[in-house]
Every structure is written in C-alpha cells, then in structure tokens.
Amino acid sequence: MSLTLAILMLVGMWLSVAAAMLWGVLRIVRRHSHHHLPPQGVAEPQAVRGARRQVEAH
C-alpha cells in the first residue's frame, strides 16, 4: 500500500466518523428541541404589572 493511498484512507475514515458524529448530534438536538417551544395556538397570558413570577431553570 502506498503512502498516498494510506493518507487518503485515513482522511476518508476521519470524514466518515465526523459525519456520523454530526448526524448523531443533530438527531439528538432535533429530538429534544421541541420541549422549549411554546404550544402553538395558545395565547400566553399578559403579564400583570408588579406580579411576581417563578424563575424557570433547568
């Protein structure tokens, strides 16, 4: 096996691993991203001046 072929195979394997990792991360992000969006069609109540709200944290 020549040096050029070995380098090309190494780069090809690196690209395939990077693409697989990116696909996995995008799949996880897509699965979990809808939890932070407000429901559509439901109007949020208007904030009352001086009213206290709870802090939302993870």
Residue-number span of the structural domain to which 18 is assigned: 3-33
pTM over 0.85: no
Q: What is the pLDDT of residue 46?
A: 67
| 11 within some domain | yes
Residue 56 is assigned to a structural domain of this protein: no
d(CA 37, CA 44): 12
Please check whether residue 14 lies inside any domain of the structure. yes
28 lies in a domain?
Answer: yes
Domain assignment of residue 25, yes or no: yes
- Going residue by residue through the chain, which has 58 residues, state the pLDDT in tens, using 9 for 90 and above: 899 999 999 999 999 999 999 999 999 988 887 655 566 766 666 666 666 777 777 6
Q: Letter for the amino acid at 55?
A: V
> Positive or negative CA dihedral for 17, 18, 22, 23?
negative
